[in-house]
A and B are shown apart, each in its own frame.
Chain A
């Protein structure tokens, strides 16, 4: 069991991850994130702004979770600040090709609103 900081804005659950996401906690965090989305939400925003390290196990987990949500017609959206170490890393592994990544929570939410209305 893990405690996650969750907030709802305009019906979109947002999880603020604080700890490193690695081989030690990827499975537990994955369970927590899967539960955070709830039955009514269409998407889940995971804010990685405060995460210092993300390793291959964490990246695998995010891809797996994204696939799971896709199958339920839900979307996983990541917040990764533009000038961060994490941004360099996710770009190297090609994560933006598979998962929607926004530089800020504000932009992630804006993307949701416009997407939701179209």
Chain B
């Protein structure tokens, strides 16, 4: 119904203006003085100590009294969905209980918010979205916008059962109360959002980065501005079943809780698909189809990479994300050349292609989101050039942290316009004795074997010897895991040492074995004895120690 124009009058419409000027000034001012007193008591400081819920309810109660109306209500704007939601009401409590929603720009409240001005209506002739207003028999309404920080955050409206011509005084007083309410709502929202943001960021970003010998990780997450609205940027690092490490950096379109919850869905889906053993390209296609089928209507870009530390190779897939930056041991930093792929979540059936890149010792990789390089009125290429230049400077200081260096060079002085997620991965040489402490969990074995094989290669072991020592160690480790004390998760350590051509690996089980079973069960021990030169097993009060000794042939 579009024929609402005539009934909805802005307050500065001639009729009100004439009424206000029609010699009511004496009565009007006295009324308004007493009302203003009343209202000052409404907005007294005691309200500041109440919870938001109590405060709004109390405020509406006082407004109802001061303005002599039957109903008073507050609706708040949900920006993500473009609707007003009933938040507090007096005389109209059903409105809140039933969760009344009014689309922006429609109906009475919707127009007040969309047009950002007070509106008065006569319900008999106007379009009303909310059925409760009619059921209640409300005849006249006055609504004013709630504004904070220059934005409309909602609407406050009052209503009467009897037909009433609201006056300019009423409008002024209601707006005064609305401003007070808006301030309180905004304050409460900011602290609530800060708390939610802090929790979301704690739960959505990895708690700790993996501690893997020979690899160094550094990450940063920087929320833009006040950090009130959580962004959709994230990073993730996790171990794959095949011993590789997966790195993800991504960016969900938009900000706020909705963007963050889509990011949480993506993060979970990626980990789940990867754990099932799918290829990187399949994982991204599956994720894309999943998001589209869920109807999220939120695009996201992401970069996903898997590092094989033993083969020193990276596999990379991109879904519309900015290219990772590669800093090789020699040569200038460059952007990873990838097969283009569309962002996920927009249309189903996307296919992705992977690329493979050597990642030898001394290489560094930086994943980031667009907030790192994008500046207003500047093309993305300029930003990418600035990034490679900053990385080139940082690369001259290989001992420092790449994520920190690049961040300092690009953003330290600039207030953030957008969130930034940064993740840097570096491969370091594995030299000297190596000690690894791991949880007694079988899923750690594949990654442990990669690290050990790398160390053995650095120690001069040939392919066969790397395999022999690695697999034997794995058998001893599997045993430590299987017999972890009481079946509870504890830890075990692996110490790798080299003395000229002699390699010694000591696997120490910190838990106590309940049953003194030989390590490796039936087949494990014979395998160890066959693959290494000597196997020593000792059981003490502190646990079991398996010592594996192998002499390197010196031949490749």
Contacts and interface: CB of A to CB of B under 8 A. Distances in A.
B482 interface: yes
Contacts of A24: 241, 442-443, 445-446
A56 B443 contact: no
A60 interface: yes
Contacts of A93: 523, 526-527
B197 to A, nearest CB: 35
B478 A2 contact: no
Contacts of B464: 85, 88
B407 to A, nearest CB: 36
B362 to A, nearest CB: 24
Contact of A3 (B277, B446, B520): B277
B467 to A, nearest CB: 4
Given A20-B243, A24-B442, A93-B527, A3 B478 contact: no
Contacts, number: 80
A60 B449 CA distance: 20
B445 A22 contact: yes
Interface of B: 241-243, 276-278, 310, 442-443, 445-446, 449, 463-464, 467, 470-471, 474-475, 478, 481-482, 520-524, 526-527, 530-531
B241, B522, B530: residue with the most chain A Cβ atoms closer than 10 Å:
B241
B242 A19 contact: yes
Contact of B241 (A4, A19, A85, A89): A19
Interface of A: 1-4, 18-20, 22-25, 52-53, 55-57, 59-60, 85, 88-89, 92-93
B446 A19 contact: yes
A75 to B, nearest CB: 22
Given A3-B278, A89-B527, A57 B449 contact: no
B527 A2 contact: no
A76 B356 CA distance: 33
B276 A2 contact: yes
A1 B276 CA distance: 7
5 contacts: A3-B276, A4-B277, A22-B474, A55-B524, A59-B523
A93 to B, nearest CB: 6
Contacts of A55: 445, 471, 474-475, 478, 524, 527
Given A23-B445, A53-B470, A60-B523, A18 B242 contact: yes
B475 A56 contact: yes
Nearest to B275: A2
A55 to B, nearest CB: 5
B278 A89 contact: no
B478 A57 contact: yes
Contacts of A25: 241
A85 B474 contact: no
Contacts of B242: 18-20
A38 to B, nearest CB: 20
Nearest to B482: A23
Contact of B478 (A18, A23, A52, A85): A23
Contacts of B277: 2-4, 18-19
Top-7 shortest CB links A-B = A24-B442, A56-B523, A85-B467, A19-B242, A23-B478, A56-B524, A3-B276
A18 B240 CA distance: 12
Contact of A20 (B446, B481, B522, B526): B446
Contacts of B445: 20, 22-24, 55
A25, A56, A88, A89: residue with the most chain B Cβ atoms closer than 10 Å:
A56
A40 B471 CA distance: 37
A66 B189 CA distance: 63
A55 B522 CA distance: 12
A57 B477 CA distance: 12
A20 B445 CA distance: 9
Contact of A22 (B276, B478, B526, B527): B478
Contacts of B482: 23
A1, A18, A23, A89: residue with the most chain B Cβ atoms closer than 10 Å:
A23
Given A18-B242, A20-B243, A23-B481, A53 B527 contact: no
A92 B522 CA distance: 14
Given A23-B481, A24-B442, A53-B471, 17 more contacts: A1-B276, A2-B277, A3-B278, A4-B277, A18-B242, A19-B241, A20-B241, A20-B243, A22-B442, A22-B474, A55-B445, A55-B478, A56-B475, A56-B522, A59-B523, A88-B467, A93-B527
